[in-house]
Amino acid sequence: MFGTLAFDFPGATAQWYFEETDFNTSDHPLGYGSGPMYFDLSSQTWIVVLERGTDSGKFLAGDLSFSNGASSCAYAYEGAAYRVTIVGSDIMGYFAASEQ
C-alpha cells in the first residue's frame, strides 16, 4: 500500500489518499478521505481515525516526530493500522510515513 497523508494541526484533522499495491486484498480504507486526529495521552501516540465504528472502525496509531531543517520542518509518522471489532482492536499492518 502507498499513499499520502497530511496533517492539519490547528483543525485536528488529517487528509489522505491510499492505494493498494497487491490487488485490493487489504482491509485498509482506500481512496481519498479525511478524519479527526488527536494525541492519546495513555499510549503517547497520535491517532488518525480512518473510519468510525464500534464494530467496523479503522485507525492509525503511531509516533510522530519533527525535525527542523534549514528551510522547513520535516516529519516522520510510524506505527500500526488497526481494525476495531466488537471485542477490541487488532493490527491490520504497520506503516512508516515521512515528508518527501
DSSP 55: T
pLDDT of residue 22: 74
Please give the model's pTM, rounded to 2 decimal places.
0.83
With cut-offs at 50, 70 and 90, classify the pLDDT of residue 26. low
- In this prediction, residues 94-98 reach a mean pLDDT of 86
Rounded Cα distance, 42 and 6, in Å: 24
Q: Tell whether the model's pLDDT for residue 36 goes beyond 80.
A: yes
- In this prediction, residues 11-23 reach a mean pLDDT of 86
